[in-house]
């Protein structure tokens, strides 16, 4: 055994390997495994193990692990479930430091603890890594070790993508198909009884050739390690692309039955991904497209998109799609416009996006000059030549040569792209991969890829702009921790919730708690009409559902009538507050995710919270720039800017409210489970919390300091 630089080296880059269950039986998993390893250029020692054979594919075969002539780093166990326990025990006794197990780990007649748990306990006690169970193995493409039991593609291209999938079919979808993605590592993680996605990520992040990490993710089994891996990727500037499944209730339940792990709250994943700049995609085409752009390691510059076409119709199609997807075309500098005019045929406009076809005369020279000028423009962040490329077509071959030459003259990302997927262009794609030029099929896939590229660049730029974190008064934090600790009920009533917010310098609507007609009359005269009257009965959290809210009360007579009604139905405890005039209603709240901690959410408020899917989430705490980005991502943002003659709302006050609430949730996360402020009414001069409810963490449980 050799000294290793990373704890996972014995698993993913072993100096020697034993293949337990290797076979010569045609089309058996053991034969596929042996052939795959023997016929590669793996430089380490390989020992087939099977008592039924003396030789396998011309190599000496050993009857058991104990009979091997040397201690191996890694034991691959290609056996059925009944034999896994004894095989792993033998590997541990042998001194192996890693194992790969393909079988499911499920026995028809099993005892407690179950086989999978017993295998995990054994491995963890021995300190060895395991790929699996219930997986398809791994390919260390750079070092030519293909440890799998299903036939692989004849050629898997090498490159800078580390791809980790929690599904065997998802594993093969990318690495067994196509000729545009280049990998250094592909892993089918299986049920991760020892080694998790986070461990594979950490190993990949230490490889000098890793340019991007792609994940097909059902669940996170080690949240702390996963967050640490995302943080490491962000610090190293290595983008992470994730296809997260289990977003729907049915999909989440399927994740449990498939892997035995909870899919988790997707809102929490959204917040986590926002914090670390993760690129989340929705399907394999979208994933492959952005991986193509990122695998070269080129970063987008400041600016927007540029595109060249040889078709006016394609240009109009892409322009429409770009508007729908949210990709902006760069505004060209005047010098670029004037230079373009020198190369365009009469009737063509010097603009972006650019139709550069004109006539056949010297078209390749014209294409190159135009593409080069666009990529040189300071307002262009990245670009593409969009044409339906096909092999053996002189125009497509010329366009490839143009992009290849321009690519050598710029550091900006540049791609070939098409408007249709089913094209006969495998030859061009292979040439392009060798030249490190992405070829992306489909208008939407192309535009989504560039949108992700630009968003990642903006994230990287925003992270370089430090912002001072809000500091809450420690004495106030301590005092409220003690108050919440002494709380007997699961919720703070609205009076207590508003008091907490007010103590942390968050503006709240003027209000009074009353328990009698006389107290109500006095409070109303102090606050002034119009008023809002709400029940403060214990246990009534959703007041509107209980007909416990009356608004726009403009006289003492109506106020007393409404109060008498509340008393008869819900009791005398009530809250009377000032009626706030026209303003933008925003929902603001937090919840504690069991995996990733407190999450803050800002959304369209009032009844729109439930009617519209207009919200943004982030991990607590957030700073002012992050709060600004969250608010800016809402459709309700247009209301804050002022519409139909209304003055703009006080955006800075709302930003401050988001920051403060996120900090409260962060510092009191051991005591507060949820904060619900709906709405915060944002007017011209301030942002007021009008209705609030705070749910404590564990009723009666002590709060830690």
Strand locations in 64-157 (E): 74-77, 98-101, 129-131, 137-140, 145-147
Q: Are residues 319 and 421 in the same domain?
A: yes
Domain-embedded: residue 144 = no
Q: What is the CATH number of the domain that holds 166?
A: 3.40.50.261
- Digit-coded pLDDT (tens) for 518-563: 999 999 999 999 999 999 988 887 788 889 999 999 999 999 999 9
User: Can you name the residues that pair with 677 across neighbouring β-strands?
Assistant: 588, 692
Q: Are residues 188 and 265 in the same domain?
A: yes
- Digit-coded pLDDT (tens) for 127-164: 999 999 999 999 999 999 999 999 998 889 999 999 99
Average pLDDT on 469-481 reads: 95
Residue 341 has pLDDT above 90, yes or no: yes
At 182 the three-state DSSP class reads coil
The pLDDT value given to residue 493: 87
Q: Are residues 309 and 439 in the same domain?
A: yes
> Which residue range is the domain that position 388 belongs to?
298-463
Domain boundary among 269, 294, 319: 294
Average pLDDT on 487-502 reads: 90
Whether the CB-CB separation of 380 and 340 falls below 8 Å is answered with: no
Q: Are residues 23 and 81 in the same domain?
A: yes
Q: Are residues 122 and 172 in the same domain?
A: no
Q: Is the peptide bond before 411 cis (omega within 30 degrees of 0)?
A: no
Mutual orientation of helices 651-667 and 494-503 as an angle, nearest 10°?
A: 100
572: confidence class by pLDDT, cuts 50, 70, 90: very high
Domain-embedded: residue 148 = no
Mean pLDDT of the chain: 92
Average pLDDT on 169-184 reads: 94
Secondary structure letter of residue 508 according to DSSP: B
Tokens of 474: 């420690």
Counting Cβ atoms within 10 Å, is residue 629 exposed (0-12), middle (13-18) or buried (19+)? middle
Average pLDDT on 497-520 reads: 96
The pLDDT value given to residue 538: 84
- CA–CA dist 653, 137 (Å, integer): 53
Residue 464 has pLDDT above 90, yes or no: no
Domain boundary among 294, 311, 342: 294
Q: Are residues 198 and 208 in the same domain?
A: yes
Q: What is the CATH number of the domain that holds 565?
A: 3.30.1490.20
Residue 246 has pLDDT above 90, yes or no: no
**Region class of 282: left (phi > 0), else alpha (psi between -120 and 50), else beta:** alpha
Secondary structure letter of residue 670 according to DSSP: T
Whether the CB-CB separation of 233 and 205 falls below 8 Å is answered with: yes
Domain-embedded: residue 635 = yes
At 240 the three-state DSSP class reads strand
How many domains does the chain divide into?
5
Residue 168 has pLDDT above 60, yes or no: yes
Domain-embedded: residue 367 = yes
Q: Which ranges of 64-182 would DSSP assign to H, the alpha helix?
A: 84-94, 115-126, 168-175
Domain-embedded: residue 143 = no
The pLDDT value given to residue 546: 85
Q: What is the CATH number of the domain that holds 489?
A: 3.30.470.20
Domain-embedded: residue 145 = no
Q: Are residues 171 and 284 in the same domain?
A: yes
Domain-embedded: residue 147 = no
Average pLDDT on 569-595 reads: 92
Q: Are residues 244 and 365 in the same domain?
A: no
Which residue from 165, 137, 140 is spatially nearest to 151, judged by alpha carbons?
137
Domain-embedded: residue 698 = yes
- Digit-coded pLDDT (tens) for 347-405: 999 999 999 998 889 999 999 999 999 999 999 999 999 999 999 999 999 999 999 99
Residue 701 has pLDDT above 60, yes or no: no
Tokens of 665: 């949730």
Reading across the β-sheet that carries 531-535, which strands appear in turn? 511-514, 574-578, 531-535, 549-553
Q: Which ranges of 633-672 would DSSP assign to H, the alpha helix?
A: 637-640, 651-667
Average pLDDT on 654-658 reads: 97
The pLDDT value given to residue 469: 86
Q: Are residues 604 and 675 in the same domain?
A: yes
Counting Cβ atoms within 10 Å, is residue 160 exposed (0-12), middle (13-18) or buried (19+)? buried
Q: Are residues 427 and 311 in the same domain?
A: yes
Q: What is the CATH number of the domain that holds 61?
A: 3.40.50.720
Tokens of 334: 């005047």
Domain boundary among 564, 579, 594: 579
612: confidence class by pLDDT, cuts 50, 70, 90: low
User: Can you name the residues that pair with 348 across neighbouring β-strands?
Assistant: none
Q: Are residues 438 and 303 in the same domain?
A: yes
Q: Which ranges of 131-196 would DSSP assign to H, the alpha helix?
A: 168-175
- CA–CA dist 265, 412 (Å, integer): 37
Q: Are residues 239 and 219 in the same domain?
A: yes
Lowest model confidence (mean pLDDT) among 263-272, 356-365, 606-615, 639-648: 606-615
């Amino acid at each position: 055994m050799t000294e290793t630089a990373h704890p996972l080296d014995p698993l993913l880059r072993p100096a020697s390997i034993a293949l337990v269950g290797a076979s010569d039986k045609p089309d058996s998993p053991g034969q596929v495994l042996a052939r795959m390893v023997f016929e590669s250029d793996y430089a380490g020692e390989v020992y087939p193990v099977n008592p039924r054979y003396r030789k396998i594919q011309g190599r000496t075969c050993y009857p058991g692990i104990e009979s091997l002539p040397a201690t191996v780093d890694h034991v691959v166990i290609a056996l059925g479930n009944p034999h896994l326990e004894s095989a792993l025990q033998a590997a541990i006794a042998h001194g192996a430091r890693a194992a790969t197990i393909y079988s499911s780990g499920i026995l028809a007649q099993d005892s407690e603890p179950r086989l999978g748990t017993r295998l995990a306990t054994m491995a963890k006690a021995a300190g060895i890594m395991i790929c699996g169970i219930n997986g398809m193995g791994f390919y260390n493409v750079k070092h030519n070790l293909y440890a799998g039991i299903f036939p692989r593609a004849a050629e898997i291209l090498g490159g800078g993508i580390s791809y980790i999938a929690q599904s065997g079919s998802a594993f093969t979808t990318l690495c067994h198909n196509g000729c545009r993605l280049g990998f250094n590592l592909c892993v089918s993680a299986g049920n991760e009884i020892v080694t998790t996605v986070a461990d594979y990520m950490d190993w990949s992040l230490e490889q000098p050739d890793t340019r991007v990490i792609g994940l097909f993710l059902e669940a996170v089994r080690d949240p702390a390690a996963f967050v640490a891996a995302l943080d490491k990727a962000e610090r190293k500037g290595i983008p992470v692309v994730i296809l997260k499944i289990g977003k729907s209730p049915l999909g989440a339940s399927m994740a449990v039955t498939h892997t035995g792990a909870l899919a988790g709250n997707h809102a929490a994943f959204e917040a986590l991904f926002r914090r670390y700049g993760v690129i989340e995609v929705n399907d394999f085409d979208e994933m492959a497209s952005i991986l193509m752009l990122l695998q070269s390691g080129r970063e987008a510059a400041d600016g927007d998109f540029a595109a060249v076409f040889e078709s006016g119709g394609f240009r109009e199609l892409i322009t429409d799609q770009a508007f729908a997807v949210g990709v902006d075309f760069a505004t060209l500098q005047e010098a670029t416009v004037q230079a373009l005019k020198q190369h365009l045929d009469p009737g063509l406009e010097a603009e972006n996006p650019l139709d550069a076809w004109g006539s056949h005369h010297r078209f390749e020279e014209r294409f190159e000059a135009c593409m080069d000028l666009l990529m040189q423009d300071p307002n262009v962040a990245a670009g593409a030549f969009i044409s339906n490329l096909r092999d053996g077509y002189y125009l497509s071959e010329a366009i490839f040569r143009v992009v290849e030459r321009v690519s050598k003259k710029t550091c900006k990302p540049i791609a070939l792209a098409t408007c249709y997927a089913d094209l006969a262009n495998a030859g061009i794609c292979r040439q392009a991969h060798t030249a490190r030029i992405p070829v992306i099929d489909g208008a939407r896939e192309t535009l989504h890829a560039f949108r992700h590229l630009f968003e990642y660049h903006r994230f990287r730029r925003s992270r370089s702009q430090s912002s001072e974190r809000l500091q809450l008064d420690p004495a106030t934090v301590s005092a409220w921790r003690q108050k919440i600790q002494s709380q007997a009920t699961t919720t703070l009533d609205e009076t207590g919730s508003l008091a907490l917010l007010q103590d942390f310098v968050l503006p709240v609507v003027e209000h009074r708690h009353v328990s009698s007609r006389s107290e109500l009359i006095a409070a109303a005269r102090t606050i002034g009409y119009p008023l809002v009257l709400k029940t403060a009965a214990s246990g009534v959290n959703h007041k509107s559902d209980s007909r416990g809210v009356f608004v726009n009360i403009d006289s003492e007579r109506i106020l007393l009538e409404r109060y008498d009604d509340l008393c008869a139905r819900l009791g005398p405890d009530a809250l009377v507050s000032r009626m706030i005039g026209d303003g933008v209603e925003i929902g603001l709240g937090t919840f504690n995710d069991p995996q990733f901690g407190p999450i803050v959410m800002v959304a369209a408020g009032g009844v729109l919270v439930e009617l519209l899917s207009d919200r943004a989430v982030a991990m607590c705490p957030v700073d002012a720039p992050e709060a600004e980005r969250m608010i800016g991502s809402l459709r309700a943002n247009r209301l804050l800017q002022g519409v139909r003659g209304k003055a703009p709302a006080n955006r800075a006050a709302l930003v401050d409210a988001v920051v403060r609430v996120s900090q409260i949730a962060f510092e009191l996360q051991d005591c507060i489970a949820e904060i619900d402020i709906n709405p915060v009414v944002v007017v011209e001069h301030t942002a007021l919390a009008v209705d609030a409810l705070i749910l404590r963490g564990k009723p009666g449980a002590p709060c830690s300091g």
